[in-house]
């Protein structure tokens, strides 16, 4: 089986404008795939990672599968996500740069979500862990994400 990489593109985080090159992360990276119905799980996973690893060691990004949003509603959706970004920023400690600790990526066509085989991320969040070179180390979608995340992330860091 050949190594899995994401498409050669750069995504812009909503709120911060941070650019994420999907071919070169520079750090082990955890993508949490979710939407409104699983936002609490995504926050829990993000906090779980941050309790163990600072943003200088592991990049964490939320990927929001927005393929069902009509093009005419994208502006309003992006504004709503921007408000969530600001709320999350207010909860950070002073020494935590918002653009490093709150990374919200819009998957407008669902391509990134589908490429990794995730479905119904509004009901069950998914996670994918990549090494610093952009190769997939492991992924998981199910009811025990913390245990799976810790195991996969340890592989990416070794």
Question: What are the tens digits of pLDDT across the range 98-115?
Answer: 888 899 999 998 889 998
Which CATH number belongs to the domain containing residue 89 in this structure?
Answer: 3.40.30.10
Domain count, the chain: 1
φ, ψ (nearest 5 deg) of residue 112? -70, -40
The β-bridge relationship of strands 126-130 and 29-34 is antiparallel
Q: Which residue has the tokens 């009901």?
A: 123
Q: Which domain holds residue 74?
A: 10-157
What pLDDT does residue 8 have? 81
In a domain, 5, yes or no: no
Whether 153 and 28 have beta carbons less than 8 Å apart is answered as yes
What does the alpha-carbon distance between residue 1 and residue 88 come to, in Å, rounded to a whole number?
39
Q: What six digits make up the tokens of 79?
A: 């504004």
| Residue 101 domain-assigned (yes or no) | yes
Residue 4 falls inside a structural domain: no
Residue 45 lies in a domain: yes
Adjacent-strand bridge partners of 130: 29, 136
User: Is residue 141 one of the residues assigned to a domain?
Assistant: yes
36 in a domain, yes or no?
yes
Query: Per-residue pLDDT averaged across 1-15, rounded?
Result: 81
Quick one: pLDDT at residue 2? 56
Q: How confident is the model at residue 120 (pLDDT cuts 50, 70, 90)?
A: very high
Residue range 41-57: mean pLDDT, rounded: 92
Position 129 confidence tier, pLDDT thresholds 50, 70, 90: very high
Q: What is the DSSP string of 15-59?
A: TT--EEETT--SS-EEEEEE-GGGHHHHHHHHHHHHHH--TTT-E
Mean pLDDT of the chain: 90
Q: Is residue 2 part of a domain?
A: no
């Amino acid at each position: 089986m050949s190594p899995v990489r994401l498409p050669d593109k750069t995504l812009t985080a909503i709120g911060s404008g941070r650019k994420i090159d999907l071919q070169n992360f520079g750090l082990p990276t955890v993508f949490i795939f979710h939407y409104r119905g699983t936002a609490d799980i995504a926050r829990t996973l993000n906090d779980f990672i941050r309790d163990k690893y600072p943003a200088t060691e592991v990049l964490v990004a939320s990927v929001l599968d927005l393929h069902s949003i009509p093009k005419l509603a994208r502006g309003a959706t992006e504004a709503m996500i921007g408000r969530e970004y600001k709320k999350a920023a207010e909860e950070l400690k002073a020494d935590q740069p918002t653009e490093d600790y709150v990374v919200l990526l819009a998957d407008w066509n669902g391509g990134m979500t589908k490429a990794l085989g995730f479905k119904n991320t509004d009901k069950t969040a998914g996670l994918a862990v990549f090494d610093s070179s952009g190769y997939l180390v492991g992924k998981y979608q199910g009811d025990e994400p913390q245990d799976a995340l810790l195991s996969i992330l340890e592989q990416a860091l070794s």
